[in-house]
Amino acid sequence: MALKTWALRKSLWVYHVNAGACNNCDIEVLDLLTPRFDIERFGMILVGSPRHADVLAVTGTCTRQAMPRLQEVYMQTAKPCVVLAIGSCALHQGIFAEGYHMGAKVDEAIKAVDPNAIIMYVPGCSPKPEAMIAAAVKAMELLKTL
């Protein structure tokens, strides 16, 4: 176990899920890859499949349609993993909370399939890339302790 978490410390693989987001947060997540913020210097990369991911970056309100797919993706993600709920929508559905098409909140939807899920919250609308990097670093520190 110690070997695995040591390995995790060195490089985090992030899988990004859009659960009904307006795209602001998603663009800022992608911005992390680009030269200004360059998340790869921390060893973090965006991967194409949840099965390889250590971090599930979730944006969006979690609409009714997205909810079962989000849960499915969470189940497929290799454990241990940290869910980063990015943006006001992922925290508490933001200004869309009254909308008729809303599913459960992101953390409720994930805890419905895994009550022990580790969820980190990154507030903002949208959070600046610096905030997301700070969250990712905290996630790394957290995974170290597991």
Partner 1 sequence: MTVATTETQAPLKGFVGEVLGALGSAVTEVHQCGDRRGIARIDPARTVEVAGKMLAMEGSRLGTCTGIDVRDGIDVLYHWCFEPAGVVVTLKALAARPELAIDSIANVVLAGNWIEREMHDLLGATFRNHPDMRRLILDDSWPEGVYPLRKDFDQVADRPPLPPNMSPPDVGAEERRAEP
Partner 2 sequence: MSRRTVINIGPYHPLQEEAEFFQLYVEGETVVDVDVRISYNHRGIEKIDESKTFDQVPFVVERVCGICSASHPLAYVQAVEEIAQVEVPERALYLRTIVNELERLHSHMLWVGLAGHFLGYNTVFMWAWKYREPVMDILEIATGSRVTYANCKIGGVRRDMTDEQLKEIGRVCGELVGPLEMLTKAVLDDPVLHARLKNVGILTPEAAKAYGALGPTARGSGLPIDVRRDDPYAAYDRVDWDVVTAPGGDVFGKAVVRLLECFEAIKIIKQCAKDMPPGEIDAKVEEIPPGEGVGHVEAPRGETLHYVRSDGSNRPVRHKIRAPSFNNIPTFKASCIGLQIPDVAITLASVDPCYSCTERMCAVVDADTHKPMYTFADLVRLSQLKTEKLLKGSHRPFPPGGKP
Q: What are phi and psi of 22, to 5 degrees?
A: -85, -5
CA 15 to chain centre: 7
Contact of residue 75 among partner 1, partner 2, none (CB under 5-8 Å per partner type): partner 1
- Report the nearest approach of partner 2 to the CB of residue 11 (Å): 16
Beta bridge partners of 118: 82
Query: Using the rule CB under 8 A, which residue among 8, 12, 55, 73 binds partner 2?
Result: 73
CA distances (Å), 30 to each of 40, 71, 101, 109, in order?
12, 22, 26, 24
Classify residue 39 by its DSSP letter: G
Site for partner 1 contains 79 (CB under 8 A): yes
Q: Which residue has the tokens 């994930």?
A: 110
113 with 74: CB under 8 angstroms? yes
Binding mask 23-62 for partner 2 (x = CB under 8 A): xxxxxxxxx-xxxx---------xxxxx---------xx-
As a whole number of angstroms, the distance between CA 15 and CA 39 comes to: 13
Minimum Å distance from CB 112 to partner 1?
A: 5
Residues at the site binding partner 1, with contacts judged by CB under 8 A? 1, 4, 63-65, 67-68, 71-72, 75-76, 78-79, 98-104, 112-113
Interface residues toward partner 2, by CB under 8 A: 15-31, 33-36, 46-50, 60-61, 63, 65-66, 69, 73, 94-96, 98-102, 125-126, 128
